[in-house]
Chain A
């Protein structure tokens, strides 16, 4: 984590344990998300995984979808993909509607 002042910093790289605490999630669930390609950590083995950038927000979203809607990992992976696709399309639509 980047230290910017005594008590405020940007969450920009989390270990597996940090991410679990951050999302209030089980390690096995996070590992499953990696297996399904939802999260793409940097690093060769679980011990030195670093979750950066979009993976952090995505993990949190995945956890919410699982907790609130009872979706399994394959379902979460699909929902997230479709949501990202939808957001992309909505952005393009906004662009064309403005013209």
Chain B
């Protein structure tokens, strides 16, 4: 088990006042809230901050935690609390309701049996919420996914053990980011039946597409002559390809809409392709000659709108 430095998590000194702790927590909670800050790693940081506050805001828990002292030198097997480390303290409950995923460190030190008795009453198990990351291709075509879940199970004598299980999840064609898949009866177990498991769909970052609801955005590179003369280009899309007509004198940044080619559904989304004119790299004498000819024969000043006399 890994020792958790709760003071460090909140950027506090060990002698911080209750008021300092509250302020530091509120500030960190805003900064790392996963709904506000979408950077990678934010969610773990947010959990850490919450766990730290859960301990430090409670004078009894804080005193017990302080008694453990500073992080001990890395002994083999990680941190182990002394057998009677909390004998002088009594905890009113075992952590906040609905927060089942604190660290092992927290679970071992602060999750007391007192919290279990409430769960022993015959009642429907709680709903669980999670997330499932799928690719845009999967959302186009639909598919099946196997998820590994680890859920706490309360045994007959009130002890909690972790149970691993696999469930298959059907990913429906056309599912969009932010939608939820419900798996009936796969949530928390209760003596009166199981709750449901809800999975929020999140799209994995895609090298080509940027999703917005059921619409997809991408950049479509075209050659200068395709832009100037107009062209038909074949554009691959998930599960197929489309024929796209580039108009004459197309501009870089011009947006083309492919109606109904986005994520399937009723109505289906659209694909928006933003044209991006890409210049070929000039490496041969012949290519050079072409460009020189263009420079000579085409009266074109791309900087005319900047004023002055150009060139």
A residues touching B (Cβ–Cβ < 8 Å)?
Answer: 1, 4-5, 7-12, 21-22, 24, 53-54, 56-57, 60-61, 64-65, 68-70, 79, 83, 91, 94-95, 98-99
Q: Quick check: B200 and A57 within 8 Å, CB to CB?
A: yes
B170 close to A (CB within 8 Å) = yes
Taking a contact as CB atoms closer than 8 A, the residue among A8, A65, A98 that contacts B33 in the complex is A65
B219 close to A (CB within 8 Å) = yes
Q: Quick check: A83 and B35 within 8 Å, CB to CB?
A: yes
CB-nearest residue of chain A to B212: A91
Q: Report chain B residues within 8 Å CB of A9.
A: 181-182, 184
B151 close to A (CB within 8 Å) = no
Once bound together, how far apart are the Cα atoms of A1 and B180, in whole Å?
11
Q: Report chain A residues within 8 Å CB of B253.
A: 99
B30 close to A (CB within 8 Å) = yes
B198 close to A (CB within 8 Å) = yes
Q: Report chain A residues within 8 Å CB of B219.
A: 95, 98-99
Give chain B nearest CB distance to A62 CB in angstroms: 9
Interface stretch (choices B105-113, B171-179, B237-245, B283-291): B171-179
CB-nearest residue of chain B to A11: B180
Q: Report chain B residues within 8 Å CB of A11.
A: 179-182, 198
- Chain B: interface size category: 20 to 34
Q: Quick check: A22 and B33 within 8 Å, CB to CB?
A: no
Q: Report chain B residues within 8 Å CB of A24.
A: 98, 127
B231 close to A (CB within 8 Å) = no
Once bound together, how far apart are the Cα atoms of A83 and B98, in whole Å?
26
Q: Report chain A residues within 8 Å CB of B33.
A: 64-65, 68-69
Q: Report chain A residues within 8 Å CB of B29.
A: 68-69
Q: Report chain A residues within 8 Å CB of B198.
A: 11, 22
Q: Report chain A residues within 8 Å CB of B183.
A: 7-8
User: Can you report 13 residue pairs joining A to B where beta carbons are below 8 Å apart?
Assistant: A7-B186, A8-B169, A8-B181, A8-B182, A10-B175, A22-B180, A54-B178, A57-B179, A57-B180, A68-B50, A70-B26, A94-B210, A99-B276
B252 close to A (CB within 8 Å) = yes
Q: Report chain A residues within 8 Å CB of B46.
A: 68
B36 close to A (CB within 8 Å) = yes
Q: Quick check: B181 and A56 within 8 Å, CB to CB?
A: no
Q: B139-151 CB contact bits vs A (8 Å, 1 = yes)?
A: 0000000000000
Once bound together, how far apart are the Cα atoms of A98 and B272, in whole Å?
14
B185 close to A (CB within 8 Å) = yes
Once bound together, how far apart are the Cα atoms of A65 and B36, in whole Å?
9
Chain B 179-217 residues near chain A, CB threshold 8 A: 179-186, 198, 200, 210, 212, 217
